[in-house]
A = this chain, B = another copy of it.
Amino acid sequence: MAGDDSSIFIGSKPFMNYVTGVVMQFTTKDAKEVAVKARGKFISRAVDVVEVASKRFLEGQVELIGIKIDSEEFTNKEGRNVRVSTIEITLKKIKK
């Protein structure tokens, strides 16, 4: 968990918005940890965001400290029980 640190929730905005969001948390906002979270089809995108942010923009500056997957169940508009997968990927700033 990111605790009182920041979370980035991945949705359908342009891809680089999320990458920039992660990078800015560590740089401008000096976050110690950032949790990248997504549900359903956005899970693939969350992995892409983490890979690009950590390997292209923050190489050597952050490390991946945890990946959690889970499911959420809820009732949709038609009254059916629906299960959706979730992911939470936590990056941590490397101390210099």
Q: Which residue of B lies closest to A89 (CB)?
A: B69
Report copies per complex: 2
Q: Are A71 and B55 in contact (CB under 8 A)?
A: yes
A67 at interface (Cβ–Cβ under 8 A)?
yes
CA distance A37 to B41 in the complex (A): 16
Residues in B with CB closer than 8 Å to A71 are 51, 55
8 Å CB contacts to B: which residues of A33-82? 40-44, 47-48, 50-52, 55, 64, 67-71
**A residues in contact (CB < 8 Å) with B:** 40-44, 47-48, 50-52, 55, 64, 67-71, 83, 85, 87, 89
Can you sample 7 A-B contacts with CB below 8 Å? A40-B44, A44-B44, A47-B69, A47-B85, A52-B83, A64-B69, A67-B67
